[in-house]
Structure 1
Amino acid sequence: MRTVLLTLALALGGSRLAAADEPKPANKLPTLKVGDAPPPLKVSKWLTGKGVKAFEPGKVYVIEFWAVWCGPCVAMMPHLGDIQEQLGPKGVTIIGFTANASGNTQEHVVKFLEKRRDKLGYTIAFADDADTFNAYMTASGQVGIPCSFVIGKDGKIAYIGHPYCLSEVLPKVLAGTWDAVKGPAEMEAAEKLWDETYAAITIPGDAVAQLTQWEEFSAKWPGLAADSQMTAARIRLLVSAKRFADAQKLAESMMTKAAKRNDVGALSAVAEVLSAEAAAGQPKLVEVGVRAAEAALAIDGPTVAALIRATKAYAAAGNTAKAKEFGPKAVAAAEKAVAGDKDALGTLQVAAALAACGERAKAKAAAEKAVGMVDPKNAGIKQYVEQQAKKYGYESKAK
């Protein structure tokens, strides 16, 4: 699912990673498994929340490994905050654990948390070394983040896996109905079904039938069907099915929830969906998209992505003056952010900014330039860059 391989993330410089990859099994057999006692936490500094000196019997803990450059990790943060709010009174403590690494120093983490601290809602721990990371992640054979470890009331590890599944796992752990043997396999099957459902409802097709497919998944796994990616896909389908009032209601609800956690990802998703061509001619819808883009901009500041998003939203709303104001800013910011003549991902952002300004020919040229920057030996990155470049008119010359 939406997990970043550590080696790939580091190779890409982390924060620009857009492709998600499944964690792959380690070569060695894991020495830490479900049913084992959890290693102690070695924390250099508790950055938010109350520190946890020891795992108390009768309480449930979640240790979630993350990093500031990991997009999927950041996307999970509002979800973790919601779970802490809902289940904290029942004895659940969520700890986001991150360690000193390239692009993930204490300074980077503290700066990252500044915009989220008051709305994060759960505890963050930082370590100067990799001892705890190795004791959990390496020992259990996990190589992708985000990754969570649930410690049950009995003081044993009950679950190891994506924090996305915690909404289904934790209520059962609290109720004493979680099966540590069958449960992980059920979650693995649920993740697979999520992937299949999401893939099916995000390709061009019969929107009504696709909405039915989502409803079938939601009936089986309601907690998993309510995440921001699925919700954004639903809004897109409702727009395509011309159920504009329903789309607006769902988008407004998503924005309200996002504002509670400063969830830039969810706000961005709303803005993207409601700035798309399918929403054209629906002033109420595109107005919601503008508000979402503006809210994300207010939280994140004038980042390249935020400026591009605002430009697209204003253009969709027919606000030519605002689109012309933000478009050049987006292009200038994207060009300034390009890190050398091999920065294919940065150059793709230049293409995106130019496309938002309506400069299609220039966007295509930038996309072609981005493709040419990739080392042909790096097949995975090459494929990703080529796929993204197609959005701006790039056509592969491969036979």
Structure 2
Amino acid sequence: MRTLLLTLAVALIGGARLSAADEPKPADTQPTLKVGDAPPPLKATKWLAGSEVKAFESGKVYVVEFWATWCGPCVVMMPHLGDIQEELAGKVTVIGFTAKDASNTPERVSEFVKKRGNKLGYTIAYADDRETYDAYMKASGQNGIPCSFVIGKDGKIAYIGHPLFLDEVLPKVLAGTWDAAKGAPELEAADKLWDETYSALMKPGDPAAQLKQWEEFSAKWPRLAADPYMTSARLKLLVAAKRFAEAQKLAETVVTKAAKRNDVAALGTVADAVSADAAAGQADLAAVGVKAAESALAIDGETATALIRVIKAHAVAGNAAKVKELGPKAVTAAEKEVTGDKDAIGTLRVAAAHLAAGDKAKAKAAAEKAIGMVDAQNAGLKKYIEDQAKKYVGESK
């Protein structure tokens, strides 16, 4: 799953999918922390939300999930963790643990948690060193986040893996029926089918056939079919298939749920989906998109991405005055976010802001500038930038 999410990942340019986060994997190392082992202690500098967990108590179940502010998929999964904590209150304690690095500073972590407030719904811990992170992640051979560790009632690690699967694992751990030897292969099979299904949903194709494929997956794994990634893909396909009543119902459900958790990622996916060309003329659906985009803007502030998203939503809704009003703000915000003369991603965001504001010529110029920023030896990034720039300049030479 993590490999697929990384492959399909794109940068946030006016709203897009969130990327997987991987770190370099050490060569020729064997995990020293495995399922069945006792978990290392949690050594936190600050407990930013919820109550401090001084030790794992016998007879209780815990989830320790490692995340960072810069990790898109971590942010996507946070509302899900909050839902788990609410649903299993008194039975499970969910702990989000994050450690300092160059981009995950104490200031950024504190600001992130403060912005979302108590709506996160579970315990958050921060460490100004990497001791606990290494004791879990490196010791278990995990090289990507988000990654969760379930500690069972016996005080042993019952599961190590992506938090998407917690809905499948936790009920069995609580009931005492979780068998890692049997459950792990079943989850591997589910993971493989998830990859195949999600990949099929994200590729260009027949929306009706793709939705049928989602339904087949949902029949086998209903909880996984309702995860944030699948829901986003399904919403886009409902719009593309012109099943507007279903799309509006799903969009409204997602927006209502997102408001409960200050879920900017979910609000963004709704706004992006219902702002697609296929939704043109659907006033009620467009109104949901505006609500989602405006809600995300209120939470995240006037970032370039949030402003571009709002402009697109208002454009689909026919609110020309709002587009004219917000266009210059989006361009200014995007230009301020460019970090240097090699920031091709940031420069593409400037192109997106110009296009949202209605200035195609400046959008094209910014996109061409972005292409020229990437060293030809960086083939992967070069191809990505060229592919994205086609939105503004046409086929790259």
What TM-score bracket applies, with the shorter chain setting the length?
A: over 0.9
Quote the residue 1:73 is aligned against: 74
After superposition, what is the alpha-carbon deviation per residue over 1:148-168, rounded to whole angstroms, capped at 9, x for unaligned? Answer: 111111111111111111111
Judge conservation of contact 1:5–1:23 (CA < 8 Å) in 2.
no
Quote the residue 2:143 is aligned against: 143
Judge conservation of contact 1:4–1:22 (CA < 8 Å) in 2.
no
Quote the residue 2:163 is aligned against: 163
Distance 2:84 2:346 in 1: 35
Aligned length: 389
After superposition, what is the alpha-carbon deviation per residue over 1:343-399, rounded to whole angstroms, capped at 9, x for unaligned? Answer: 1111111111112123233223322221221222333322332332233334233xx
TM-score of the pair, normalised by structure 1: 0.92
- What letter matches 1:115 in structure 2? K
1:51 aligns with 2:52: yes
After superposition, what is the alpha-carbon deviation per residue over 1:301-338, rounded to whole angstroms, capped at 9, x for unaligned? Answer: 11111100011011111110001111111011101211
After superposition, what is the alpha-carbon deviation per residue over 1:213-263, rounded to whole angstroms, capped at 9, x for unaligned? Answer: 101111111111112221122122222222211111110000000000000
Alignment of 1:302-313 (within 5 A): 302-313=302-313
Quote the residue 2:347 is aligned against: 347
Alignment of 1:1-399 (within 5 A): 1-2=1-2, 18-20=18-20, 26-27=26-27, 28-89=29-90, 91-397=91-397
Q: Which stretches of structure 1, 4 residues or more, deviate above 4 A after TM superposition?
A: 2-6, 21-25
Structure 1: gaps (5+ residues): none
Deviates more, 1:236-245 or 1:61-70: 236-245
After superposition, what is the alpha-carbon deviation per residue over 1:47-89, rounded to whole angstroms, capped at 9, x for unaligned? Answer: 1101111111111111111111111111111111001111123
Judge conservation of contact 1:5–1:143 (CA < 8 Å) in 2.
no
Distance 2:253 2:100 in 1: 37
- What letter matches 1:43 in structure 2? A
After superposition, what is the alpha-carbon deviation per residue over 1:95-125, rounded to whole angstroms, capped at 9, x for unaligned? Answer: 1001111121222211111111220100011
After superposition, what is the alpha-carbon deviation per residue over 1:256-306, rounded to whole angstroms, capped at 9, x for unaligned? Answer: 000000001100110001111000011111111111111111111111111
- What letter matches 1:325 in structure 2? E
Distance 2:299 2:2 in 1: 24
Judge conservation of contact 2:21–2:72 (CA < 8 Å) in 1.
no
Distance 2:59 2:251 in 1: 39
Structure number with higher relative contact order (C-alpha < 8 Å, ≥ 6 residues apart):
2
TM-score of the pair, normalised by structure 2: 0.93
1:43, CA displacement in angstroms? 1.3
Judge conservation of contact 1:283–1:317 (CA < 8 Å) in 2.
yes
- What letter matches 1:41 in structure 2? L
Judge conservation of contact 1:24–1:142 (CA < 8 Å) in 2.
no
1:188/1:377 CA distance change after superposition, 3 Å: farther
Deviates more, 1:220-229 or 1:336-345: 220-229
- What letter matches 2:178 in structure 1? W
Deviates more, 1:297-306 or 1:372-381: 372-381
1:167/1:383 CA distance change after superposition, 3 Å: farther
1:19/1:45 CA distance change after superposition, 3 Å: closer
After superposition, what is the alpha-carbon deviation per residue over 1:165-190, rounded to whole angstroms, capped at 9, x for unaligned? Answer: 11111112112222212322322332
- Identical aligned pairs, as a percentage? 70
- What letter matches 2:155 in structure 1? G
